[in-house]
Amino acid sequence: MKPLLAVILAVALLSGCGGESSEAATSGAVTVFAAASLTEAFTEIATAFEAAHPGAKVTFNFGPSSGLAEQIVQGAPADVFAAANTSTMDKVVAAGLSDGAAEVFVRNYLEIAVPAGNLAGISGLADFAKPDLKLALCAEQVPCGAAAKKAFAAAGVRPQPDTLEQDVKAVLSKVSLGEVDAGIVYHTDVQAAGGRVAGIEFPEAEQAVNDYPMVVLKTAPNAAIARAFVAYVRGAEGARVLTEAGFARP
Amino acid sequence: MILRLGKDRPPVALVAPAALATVFLALPLVGLVARAPWRDLGDQLTSPEVASALRLSLLAATMSTVVSLLLGVPLAWVLARLRFPGRGVVRALVMLPLVLPPVVGGVALLLVLGRRGLVGQWLDGWLGMSLPFTTAGVVVAETFVAMPFLVISVEGALRAADRRFEDVAATLGASRWVAFRRVTLPLVGPGVVAGAVLCWARALGEFGATITFAGNLPGRTQTMPLAVYIALESDPEAAVVLSLLLVAVSVVILVGLRERWIGAV
Amino acid sequence: MSLDAAIHVKRGHFALDVALQIAAGEVVVLLGPNGAGKTTVLHALAGLVLADAARVELDGEVLEDTAERVRVPTERRPVGLVFQDYLLFPHLSALDNVAFGMRCRGRSRTAAREQAKQWLQRVGLADRAEARPATLSGGQAQRVALARALAVEPRLLLLDEPLAALDAGTRVAVRSDLTRHLAGYGGCALAVTHDPLDAMVLADRLIVIEAGSVVQEGRPQDVARHPRTDYVARLVGLNLFRGTARGHEVALAGDAGSAVVPTATHGDVFVAFPPAAVTVHRSRPEGSARNVWPGRIAGLELHGDLVRVEVAGPPTVLADVTPAAVADLGLDPGGAVWVAVKATEVACYPA
């Protein structure tokens, strides 16, 4: 429901200020489709951006990158797209919708998430092969799932998940509710969850890093403000917020 | 030549909106059929995941309907026939799943029946029983959202039924339970069937509560709607094929049922 | 075997107070206008309605006693009820309808159906055993309903307006059939109706009820000949007046004139004579009739082959004349006429 609602909101906003040519390049509305793992970081960056550029309004559509890419290809009105891996971005680029090259702006490492207390005594990827544990993974059609698959292959482990969630936030919520003993999420998600979830790093994560590219889309009606947002994210303030959230520098 | 108007011709004021409604309802089906990758249909349909998702969907929907019948018909009777304090509250509770977004329903079920849930923790501790991530969990989620349809339909039928037949049964020596079983229930049969069909259809299409409470695992909890959603992430063509399959199966079953059991009108 | 019942029901302004006794094999008919509470009496006896105060004793067994807090639920009372509109179960065949009661009492399906078939034979509907109630005619449905009620061998048979739902033609045949079946029934039978002809034909004893109370009781012919209320009088078409008698002359109440009666009496009396005994004249008649009154025609009603003329006097008198007479005399509403009744036709009895 959330993506749809955001799309409707975006359309409403755009139609509301359509036809106006903005005098200042840094005012107006910009719609950003971003991977679910960027939720907390981007929201914080947007607040700072709006404070620095009065008249600017950022609207988000957070979700699994693959689904967002699909929506963009089908014609959803987005100005900026930030994906959780390069293959989902490739879809948008291949459709000829990107304005310029997509540049990687952060990397995100996978991490094992366990409920606070780690009652099941999880220590590493090998635990994911145990059938008596309740385990959650992302579906491999989404970037987090694709990366986890690579990591398991590198570790030589055959995971026995009990559920394949449609985005990384869903995995995180199952872990924080204590419904599963462990799940694979991003390092940023573990940090965002605070005390409810504990993280366990694993060496194979190095081999399954997700590079996050970002691009302004050709269909952006207000390209100037879109570019300004992208520049802000890459700038000092944006980098600070992203690093604090747990993202790694590219 | 005199045009015959009025009684002989159906009223335009009713037929026109009805036609519009029919077109509106047919739109998704038209879209699916138009965009279906007819050439690749065979390959898509014969993959084992599709078969297991379909089988799971039909099984879970049917079991949900059975549970809804066993629990919902007595509830409908109580609401229609008994007068007790708090009847309004019970009726509101029945309507609750209808207004609650299904995902919210799924979260609520997790909070109560999940591993750390209010009731679930006892189930897990004492009986080792866990509902999330199991097919049983799918049935629970689907029953939660679909049972109200059955209850409302049966309650309506019971209210409309002539209660004098129960008096007749009593004078012939039938206890209340026998009268219910042999007189009331057959008389509201069509209402029960209609409610069961609605319930089954709703259960078949349920997504939010299922994925939130039971999770998504092919073969165990991935029903057709979940399979469609996941497929949409990466392979929209597959999603279209799955959707078409679900629609086709549903239409065949619903049309077949209507004619035979609800009675041709 | 007998029924001894006293029923008292209060619903808002309506109060029903009825006491009755029925002997085994006796057919009692409760006669009264609609709204008199007749169906309530039946339902109270069957236990379908909660009476405010009731005592029902059937064959020595107390079925209900409000004072002693005894109440046998409907399904355990040995009572059979033929409902108005019959209420045959629409989803069962005629045979299964009749077999229903026996099946409830634990008989096997085959045994119950066998017994039901015999009952249907007795009411002459063996060939319609598998028919659904919707396909039965009114008369057939009535017979199936009767068979269904009798099949459980009740000790008290209750019939609610048994002939009301039938058209005039079917009624005559069914009425005589019903009489036969009731004659063959050994328990206590109580029927309610608002039709006095049905009452007269079916009843061994008649109880007239009006506005919740019993107003008259007795053999049908006695009640018809000596009605105590206008209602009964009107229904059987009797002219009924109250008055004060002094020998052969009765001063009719409400300054309605006076009547001459054959038997000398004193005090409060009812005076009654049938419309057939009244003659209508255009001018004051000279003859042996002692009772002659002037009046204006207030109404003309066709009753079978007769026209009932209502003449407003005072007193208001009903007269039955032939349509030819109406034409010959040129009778029309508002016309001035004279009515005459022979004293010998007038019945007079103490009020």
Per-residue pLDDT reduced to its tens digit, A130-167: 988 999 999 988 888 989 999 999 999 999 999 999 88
In this complex, which chains have at least 3 CB pairs below 8 Å with chain B? A, C
Q: Region A28-35: what's the mean pLDDT?
A: 90
What is the reported pLDDT for A19?
42
- Same domain assignment for residues C213 and C270: no
Residue B49 touches chain A, beta carbons under 8 Å: no
Q: Region C294-315: what's the mean pLDDT?
A: 81
Domains annotated on chain A, with CATH: 2-107+211-245 (3.40.190.10), 110-208 (3.40.190.10)
- Same domain assignment for residues C6 and C147: yes
Look at residue B197 and give its three-state secondary structure: helix
Q: Phi and psi at residue C239, in whole multiples of 5°?
A: -85, 120
Q: Tokens 């339909």 correspond to what residue?
A: B153
**Rounded-to-integer distance, Cα C101 and Cα C74, Å:** 13
Q: Phi and psi at residue A27, in whole multiples of 5°?
A: -130, 155
Is the Cβ–Cβ distance between B218 and B164 less than 8 Å?
Answer: no
Residue B173 touches chain C, beta carbons under 8 Å: yes
Partners of residue B217 in chain A, C-beta under 8 Å: 161-164
**Rounded-to-integer distance, Cα C148 and Cα C86, Å:** 10
Q: Phi and psi at residue A160, in whole multiples of 5°?
A: -120, 75
In this complex, which chains have at least 3 CB pairs below 8 Å with chain C? B
Of A141, A163, A170, the CB nearest to B233: A141
**Rounded-to-integer distance, Cα C98 and Cα B222, Å:** 53
CA dihedral over C45, C50, C51, C55, signed as positive or negative: positive
The total of structural domains in chain B comes to: 1
Rounded to the nearest angstrom, the minimum Cα separation between C348 and chain B is 45
Q: Has residue B22 been placed in a domain?
A: no
- Same domain assignment for residues C104 and C248: no
- CB contact under 8 Å between A70 and B130, yes or no, is no
Residue B185 touches chain C, beta carbons under 8 Å: no
Of B171, B183, B187, the CB nearest to C81: B171
What is the reported pLDDT for B240?
86
Of B103, B217, B233, the CB nearest to A142: B233
Residue B177 touches chain C, beta carbons under 8 Å: no
In this complex, which chains have at least 3 CB pairs below 8 Å with chain A? B
- Same domain assignment for residues C178 and C199: yes
Q: Has residue B3 been placed in a domain?
A: no
Strand-pair partners of C266: C246
- At C121, the pLDDT band (50, 70, 90 cuts) reads very high
- CB contact under 8 Å between A166 and B230, yes or no, is yes
What DSSP element (H or E) covers B125? Answer: none
The residue from C179, C212, C234 where one domain ends is C234
- CB contact under 8 Å between A1 and B101, yes or no, is yes
Which residues form the domain of B200? Answer: 46-262
Is the Cβ–Cβ distance between C109 and C103 less than 8 Å?
Answer: yes
Query: The tokens of C238 are what?
Result: 């009797």
Does chain A reach chain B with at least 3 CB pairs under 8 Å? yes
- CB contact under 8 Å between B164 and C81, yes or no, is no
Which residues form the domain of C49? Answer: 2-234
Q: Phi and psi at residue B3, in whole multiples of 5°?
A: -80, 135
Mutate to test the interface with C, among B165, B171, B192 (most CBs of C within 10 A): B171
Rounded to the nearest angstrom, the minimum Cα separation between A141 and chain B is 6
Of B173, B175, B182, the CB nearest to C152: B173
Q: Which residues make Cβ contacts (< 8 Å) with residue A224, sequence separation at least 6?
A: A22, A25, A26, A28
Does chain C reach chain A with at least 3 CB pairs under 8 Å? no
What is the reported pLDDT for A7?
58
Query: The tokens of B9 are what?
Result: 């011709």
- How much of chain A exceeds pLDDT 90, in percent? 42
Q: Has residue B144 been placed in a domain?
A: yes
- CB contact under 8 Å between C89 and B189, yes or no, is no
**Rounded-to-integer distance, Cα C131 and Cα C92, Å:** 9
The CA-to-CA distance between both ends of chain C, in Å, stands at: 34
What is the reported pLDDT for A47?
93
Report how many Cβ contacts below 8 Å link chain A to chain B: 66
Identity of the highest mean pLDDT range in A13-22, A204-213, B56-65, C335-344: B56-65
Q: What is the CATH number of the domain that holds C182?
A: 3.40.50.300
**Helical packing angle, B135-160 and B48-81, nearest 10°:** 40
Is the Cβ–Cβ distance between B224 and B118 less than 8 Å?
Answer: no
**Rounded-to-integer distance, Cα C10 and Cα B262, Å:** 44
With b meaning 16 or more CB within 10 Å and e meaning fewer, what string describes C284-323? eeeeebbbbbebebeebeeeeebbbbbbeeebebbbbbee
- At C87, the pLDDT band (50, 70, 90 cuts) reads very high
What is the reported pLDDT for C210?
82
Query: Angle at the Cα of A170 (from A165 to A172), degrees rounded to 5?
Result: 115
Is the Cβ–Cβ distance between A179 and A152 less than 8 Å?
Answer: no
CA dihedral over C320, C324, C329, C333, signed as positive or negative: positive
Q: What is the CATH number of the domain that holds C302?
A: 2.40.50.100
Report how many Cβ contacts below 8 Å link chain B to chain C: 55
What is the reported pLDDT for B120?
86
- Same domain assignment for residues C215 and C331: no
- Same domain assignment for residues C196 and C336: no
Query: The tokens of A88 are what?
Result: 């989902």
What DSSP element (H or E) covers C332? Answer: none
Partners of residue A136 in chain B, C-beta under 8 Å: 215
Q: Has residue B222 been placed in a domain?
A: yes
What is the reported pLDDT for C234?
67
The CA-to-CA distance between both ends of chain A, in Å, stands at: 33
- Same domain assignment for residues C47 and C183: yes
Tens digits of pLDDT across chain B (265 residues): 555 555 677 888 999 999 999 999 888 888 888 888 877 777 777 778 888 898 999 999 999 999 999 999 999 999 998 899 999 999 999 999 999 999 999 999 999 998 888 888 888 878 877 888 899 999 999 999 999 999 999 999 999 988 899 999 999 999 999 999 999 999 999 889 989 998 999 999 999 999 999 999 988 899 999 999 888 877 778 888 888 888 888 888 778 776 655 553 3
Cα-only R_g, chain A: 19
Distances (CA, A) of A9 to A16, A30, A249, C222: 10, 12, 32, 90
Amino acid at the residue B57:
S
Rounded to the nearest angstrom, the minimum Cα separation between C15 and chain B is 23
pTM: 0.73
- At A18, the pLDDT band (50, 70, 90 cuts) reads very low
The residue from C203, C218, C234 where one domain ends is C234
Residue B183 touches chain C, beta carbons under 8 Å: yes
Q: Has residue B127 been placed in a domain?
A: yes
- CB contact under 8 Å between B189 and C91, yes or no, is yes
- Same domain assignment for residues C276 and C160: no
- How much of chain C exceeds pLDDT 70, in percent? 95
Strand-pair partners of C29: C191, C206
Rounded to the nearest angstrom, the minimum Cα separation between A179 and chain B is 5
Residue B186 touches chain A, beta carbons under 8 Å: no
Q: Has residue B7 been placed in a domain?
A: no
What is the reported pLDDT for B42?
76
- Same domain assignment for residues C164 and C36: yes
pLDDT tens digits, residue range C144-154? 999 999 999 99
Partners of residue B187 in chain C, C-beta under 8 Å: 90-91
Report the mean per-residue pLDDT for chain C.
Answer: 86
What is the reported pLDDT for A8?
58
**Rounded-to-integer distance, Cα B161 and Cα B169, Å:** 14
Greater confidence (A7 vs C230) lies with C230
The total of structural domains in chain C comes to: 2
- Same domain assignment for residues C37 and C170: yes
- CB contact under 8 Å between B217 and A162, yes or no, is yes
Q: Has residue B57 been placed in a domain?
A: yes
pLDDT at A39 over 80: yes
Residue B231 touches chain A, beta carbons under 8 Å: yes
What is the DSSP-derived secondary structure letter of residue B233? H
Considering only CA atoms, which of A122, A121, A115, A126 is closest in space to residue A151? Answer: A126
Mutate to test the interface with A, among B221, B226, B234 (most CBs of A within 10 A): B234
Strand-pair partners of C267: C245
Q: Which residues make Cβ contacts (< 8 Å) with residue C220, sequence separation at least 6?
A: C29, C199, C200, C203, C205, C206
Partners of residue B218 in chain A, C-beta under 8 Å: 164
Q: What is the CATH number of the domain that holds B174?
A: 1.10.3720.10
pLDDT at C35 over 80: no
The residue from C169, C204, C234 where one domain ends is C234
CA dihedral over C262, C263, C267, C270, signed as positive or negative: negative
**Rounded-to-integer distance, Cα B143 and Cα B147, Å:** 5
Mutate to test the interface with B, among C71, C85, C100 (most CBs of B within 10 A): C100
- Same domain assignment for residues C269 and C168: no
Burial class (CB in 10 A: 0-12, 13-18, 19+), B253: middle
Q: Which residues make Cβ contacts (< 8 Å) with residue B206, sequence separation at least 6?
A: B102, B141, B142, B145, B146, B223, B225
- Same domain assignment for residues C230 and C257: no
Q: Has residue B204 been placed in a domain?
A: yes
Strand ranges for chain C from DSSP E: 2-11, 14-23, 27-31, 53-58, 61-65, 70-71, 79-82, 156-160, 188-193, 205-210, 213-218, 239-252, 258-273, 278-281, 291-303, 306-312, 317-321, 336-341, 347-350
